[in-house]
């Protein structure tokens, strides 16, 4: 997905957004690996062997005069609102022989607009391979190869780093090399450094990128955690997603510097953070066929070496595509209703942007970054549109923080050993040695132990979900209720398998205003109408959350009294869910969902109505796109989603309860829903008898 970042403070409003890997790109192609300077790999020329080519003073004067003349001509044809650094880069890029700009579009501020009325399907701009910086270029660069950075691993999880991390390394080093050469003062003998046209374009591009100082107050990855807690709420899914991105960048830098002292000396933490944000927000995916296209000349032995060092399964390199920095394309802003689209032309090896709709003169070109929820859009790109056009997420994980937030293959806090299920092989070996055992472990004698799929620190948090004992007359105690306690142990095991799967805890609400469209400029607030949940047009998928709550609400009487056997038989079934059962189970599951969603909503310490009124006020004050405005919209959207969950869960639970009353069942203990949890000591015992580790 493409990506960019809209500033969230007015102080940085003249700086434009950013972008990353693409789902909506299916074709791609790369540039051949050569030793000539015509390849994009020229941009990655050895950082060790840079020599400052020198020309005569006369040549330097001519270059400066030509540049001034061209600049005056270009500036006269550009909008007065265009950022000077963007104007300079546009001039450099469009003078490149292989770059086609046309005269259909022009820069404005830090983005692009129509210079004349544009027809549907018109090609607007093409960006050649020589003006793209690919993940493969980074992997082949001197630093990554010679310092063996592909072998770096996240300390806490031992996972390999995402490809974007190496592109960030490459970007940081190229930025140092080219900006240093371009800004170098006249040498002692009066000559100036000479850059090729590609290097001139790249130097101009790097000079146009937002700096660390400009990003630190606008991008959430660089924001202070206490500030984010205050903005979003420490319990919110919005906060969880941002923190995961922060931890990814921090862990990557730690892994890289631990692997290479030379890299640590060359690239500071701030430089890496800046480059990593640029990769996250400004990179695109050419698609698998492009990343490993014939023109990239990745020989089998080279691919095998890369896969081995990187920890990639043989033959799986770039099967999901790769990252590519694409200047010009990264200037486009995002809306789910775009007026342009792009694709990677495998023949031209170019990213081609064309009109998806008619575009009036002066209107901004608007791309779609893909189906991001507002939580991920803010965490990754630093902005939201605030018009209800985006998806919303809301979490019922009120007692724990899932260690995965669906960042694709970028990052997870789930340890590699747990994810790879090493213990399953051990269990199979143990089972073969003892044919008398009918499962992973014996609940009767504790002969075998099962390894839980969670880190140790999560155990106390997750046990809290098992402390309600709904559907029982009394709280479950090990000695007094052996069967119920045995079932609770099995529920504990199955809970550990889904604890860090966000799909089991996070609901996705469809856009509240799906028909909303962008205005002529992204620096205008799209609408002052506050988005609301309309059941006629808004949907919310709750089946996975109900499955989770059905597990938590299960009793020994469910499945015709065979609940223990059902859970035990499915311990090895990775796709197992507790399916719909009797009326009492459905009632308890929905009331459990209502309990968790209500708890999450209460933690905001303000009502949805108050949150709504705050957004109304900020819209009226034209606070767009400030931090307070952005945070208020994010909070309101999540609160509206939680309110929708509670409403759906409660209304459906009451329907099940009404059915039970018709059958004279509602007075049964199976319909007991506790207002308070049972003593924690009762559930603390579920893993103290040697069955789990």
The domains located in the chain, with CATH, are 10-381 (3.90.1410.10), 394-687 (no CATH)
Q: Is the pLDDT of residue 6 over 70?
A: no
Locate tokens 């609102």: which residue? Answer: 81
Kindly indicate the confidence band of residue 97, based on its pLDDT and cuts at 50, 70 and 90: low
Kindly indicate the confidence band of residue 411, based on its pLDDT and cuts at 50, 70 and 90: very high
**Residues 592, 552 contacting (CB under 8 angstroms):** yes
What element of type H or E holds 506?
Answer: strand 506-509
Show Cβ contacts of residue 355 under 8 Å, excluding neighbours closer than 6 positions.
118, 119, 120, 121, 122, 124, 339, 340
Q: Is the pLDDT of residue 110 over 70?
A: yes
Q: Taken in order 509, 513, 516, 521, is the CA torsion positive or negative? A: negative
Kindly indicate the confidence band of residue 91, based on its pLDDT and cuts at 50, 70 and 90: confident
Range with the lowest mean pLDDT among 55-69, 312-326, 451-465?
A: 55-69
Taken as a whole, the chain contains a residue count of 693
pLDDT for residue 63: 36
Peptide bond preceding 78 in cis form (omega within 30 of 0): no
Kindly indicate the confidence band of residue 193, based on its pLDDT and cuts at 50, 70 and 90: low
Question: What's the mean per-residue pLDDT of the chain?
Answer: 84
* Strand intervals (E) in 90-152: 105-108, 111-114, 123-127, 133-134
Kindly indicate the confidence band of residue 182, based on its pLDDT and cuts at 50, 70 and 90: low
**Residues 578, 544 contacting (CB under 8 angstroms):** no
pLDDT for residue 545: 98
Name the residue among 513, 652, 86, 100 with its Cα closest to residue 345. Answer: 100
Higher pLDDT, 596 or 92: 596
Region 518-530 average pLDDT? 97
Q: How far apart are CA 264 and CA 609, in angstroms?
A: 50
Q: Is the pLDDT of residue 281 over 60?
A: yes
Higher pLDDT, 491 or 9: 491
- Dihedral class, residue 488 (left if φ above 0, else alpha if ψ from -120 to 50, else beta): alpha
**Residues 2, 19 contacting (CB under 8 angstroms):** yes
pLDDT for residue 184: 58
**Where is mean pLDDT largest: 185-189, 297-301, 644-648, 685-689?**
644-648
Global confidence as pTM: 0.85
* Angle at which helices 225-232 and 627-662 cross, to 10°: 50
What element of type H or E holds 53?
Answer: none
- Token digits of residue 149: 């950075």
Long-range pairs for 139-143 at CB < 8 Å and ≥24 separation?
139/163, 139/166, 139/306, 140/33, 140/41, 140/44, 141/44, 141/47, 141/169, 141/170, 141/173, 142/44, 142/46, 142/47, 142/48, 143/47, 143/169, 143/170, 143/173, 143/260, 143/262, 143/263, 143/266
Q: How far apart are CA 618 and CA 633, in angstroms?
A: 10
pLDDT for residue 115: 96
- Token digits of residue 61: 């004067």
Higher pLDDT, 57 or 541: 541
Q: Is the pLDDT of residue 22 over 80?
A: no
pLDDT for residue 12: 37
- Token digits of residue 267: 């690239």
pLDDT for residue 46: 42
Kindly indicate the confidence band of residue 661, based on its pLDDT and cuts at 50, 70 and 90: confident
C-alpha distances (whole Å) from 84 to each of 76, 92, 107, 108, 363 are 12, 12, 10, 10, 20
Q: Is the pLDDT of residue 8 over 70?
A: no
Higher pLDDT, 9 or 384: 384
Q: How far apart are CA 444 and CA 664, in angstroms?
A: 37
Higher pLDDT, 149 or 321: 149
Kindly indicate the confidence band of residue 497, based on its pLDDT and cuts at 50, 70 and 90: very high
133 beta partners: 325
pLDDT for residue 692: 55
Three-state secondary-structure class, residue 34: coil
Kindly indicate the confidence band of residue 347, based on its pLDDT and cuts at 50, 70 and 90: confident
Region 208-224 average pLDDT? 96
Three-state secondary-structure class, residue 204: helix
pLDDT for residue 194: 72
Return the half-sphere exposure (C-beta side, CA atoms, 13 A cut-off) of residue 201.
26
Higher pLDDT, 334 or 688: 334
**Residues 511, 389 contacting (CB under 8 angstroms):** yes
**Residues 436, 497 contacting (CB under 8 angstroms):** no
* Strand intervals (E) in 287-424: 324-325, 333-334, 340-345, 350-355, 366-367, 392-395
Please classify residue 96 by burial: count the beta carbons closer than 10 Å to its beta carbon, then call 0-12 exposed, 13-18 middle and 19+ buried: middle
438: Cα separation from own chain's centroid:
42
Locate tokens 């079932």: which residue? Answer: 487
- Dihedral class, residue 362 (left if φ above 0, else alpha if ψ from -120 to 50, else beta): left
Please classify residue 574 by burial: count the beta carbons closer than 10 Å to its beta carbon, then call 0-12 exposed, 13-18 middle and 19+ buried: exposed
Please classify residue 145 by burial: count the beta carbons closer than 10 Å to its beta carbon, then call 0-12 exposed, 13-18 middle and 19+ buried: middle
Q: Taken in order 578, 580, 581, 585, is the CA torsion positive or negative? A: positive
pLDDT for residue 48: 43
| DSSP label at residue 365 | P
- Of the chain, the percentage scoring pLDDT greater than 90 comes to 68
* Strand intervals (E) in 248-296: 283-284
Range with the lowest mean pLDDT among 70-84, 230-244, 320-334, 516-530?
A: 70-84
Higher pLDDT, 653 or 439: 653
What confidence tens digit (pLDDT) does each residue in 611-629 have?
999 999 999 999 999 999 9
Q: Is the pLDDT of residue 254 over 60?
A: yes
Locate tokens 């790999």: which residue? Answer: 41
Range with the lowest mean pLDDT among 444-458, 546-560, 564-578?
A: 444-458
What confidence tens digit (pLDDT) does each residue in 367-408 have?
999 999 999 999 999 999 999 999 999 999 999 999 999 998
Kindly indicate the confidence band of residue 179, based on its pLDDT and cuts at 50, 70 and 90: confident
pLDDT for residue 430: 44
Name the residue among 555, 546, 440, 453 with its Cα closest to residue 498. Answer: 453
Q: List alpha helices for 141-162, DSSP H.
A: 142-146
């Amino acid at each position: 997905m493409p990506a960019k970042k809209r500033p969230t403070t007015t102080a940085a409003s003249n700086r434009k957004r950013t972008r990353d890997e693409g789902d909506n790109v299916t074709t791609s192609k790369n540039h051949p690996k050569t030793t000539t300077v015509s390849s994009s790999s020229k941009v990655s020329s050895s950082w060790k062997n840079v020599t400052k080519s020198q020309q005569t003073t006369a040549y330097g004067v001519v270059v400066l005069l030509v540049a001034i003349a061209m600049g005056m001509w270009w500036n006269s044809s550009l909008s007065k609102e265009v950022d000077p650094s963007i104007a300079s880069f546009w001039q450099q890029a469009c003078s490149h022989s292989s770059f086609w700009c046309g005269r259909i579009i022009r820069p404005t501020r830090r983005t692009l607009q129509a210079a004349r009325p544009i027809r549907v399907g018109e090609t607007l701009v093409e960006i050649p391979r020589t003006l793209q910086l690919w993940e493969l270029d980074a992997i082949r660069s001197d630093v990554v190869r010679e310092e063996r950075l592909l072998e770096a691993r996240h300390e806490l999880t031992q996972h390999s780093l995402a490809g974007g991390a190496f592109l960030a390394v490459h970007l940081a080093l190229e930025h140092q090399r080219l900006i240093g050469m371009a800004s170098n003062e006249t040498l002692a003998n009066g000559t100036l450094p000479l850059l090729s046209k590609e290097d001139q374009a790249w130097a101009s591009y790097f000079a146009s990128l937002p700096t660390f100082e400009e990003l630190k107050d606008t991008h959430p990855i660089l924001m202070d955690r206490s500030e984010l807690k205050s903005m979003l709420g420490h319990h919110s899914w919005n906060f969880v997603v941002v923190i995961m991105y922060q931890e990814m960048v921090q862990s990557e830098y730690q892994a890289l510097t631990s692997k290479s002292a030379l890299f640590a000396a060359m690239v500071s933490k701030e430089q890496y953070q800046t480059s990593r944000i640029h990769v996250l927000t400004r990179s695109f995916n050419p698609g698998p066929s492009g990343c490993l296209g014939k023109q990239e000349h990745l020989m089998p032995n080279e691919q095998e070496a890369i896969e081995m060092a990187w920890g990639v399964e043989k033959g799986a390199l770039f099967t999901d595509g790769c990252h590519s920095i694409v200047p010009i394309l990264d200037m486009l802003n995002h809306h789910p209703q775009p007026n342009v689209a792009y694709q990677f032309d495998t023949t031209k090896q170019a990213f081609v942007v064309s009109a998806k709709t008619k575009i009036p003169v002066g209107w901004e070109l608007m791309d779609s970054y893909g189906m991001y929820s507002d939580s991920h859009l803010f965490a990754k790109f630093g902005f939201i549109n605030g018009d209800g056009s985006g998806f919303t997420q809301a979490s019922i994980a009120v007692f724990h923080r899932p260690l995965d937030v669906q960042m694709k293959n970028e990052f997870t806090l789930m340890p590699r050993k747990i994810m790879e299920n090493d213990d399953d092989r051990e269990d199979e070996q143990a089972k073969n040695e003892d044919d008398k055992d009918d499962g992973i472990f014996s609940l009767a004698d504790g002969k075998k132990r099962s390894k839980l799929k969670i880190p140790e620190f999560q155990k106390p948090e997750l046990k809290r979900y098992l402390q309600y004992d709904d559907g029982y007359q009394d709280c479950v105690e090990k000695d007094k209720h052996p069967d119920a306690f045995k079932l609770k142990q099995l529920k504990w095991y199955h809970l550990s398998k889904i604890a860090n799967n966000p799909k089991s805890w996070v609901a996705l609400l469809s856009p509240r205003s799906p028909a909303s469209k962008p205005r002529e400029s992204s620096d205008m607030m799209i609408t002052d109408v506050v988005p609301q949940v309309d059941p006629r047009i808004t949907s919310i998928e709750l089946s996975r959350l109900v499955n989770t709550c059905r597990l938590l609400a299960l009793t020994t009487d469910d499945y015709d009294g065979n609940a223990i056997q059902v859970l035990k038989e499915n311990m090895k079934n990775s796709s197992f869910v507790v399916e719909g059962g009797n009326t009492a189970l459905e009632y308890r599951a929905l009331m459990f969902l209502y309990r968790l969603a209500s708890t999450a909503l209460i933690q905001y310490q303000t009502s949805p109505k108050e949150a709504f009124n705050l957004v109304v006020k900020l819209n009226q004050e034209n606070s767009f796109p400030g931090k307070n405005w952005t945070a208020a919209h994010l909070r309101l959207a999540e609160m509206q989603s939680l309110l929708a969950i509670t409403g759906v869960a409660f209304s459906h639970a009451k329907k099940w309860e009404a059915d039970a009353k018709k059958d004279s069942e509602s007075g049964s203990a199976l319909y007991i829903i506790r207002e308070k949890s049972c003593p924690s000591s009762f559930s603390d015992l579920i893993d103290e008898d040697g069955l789990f580790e």
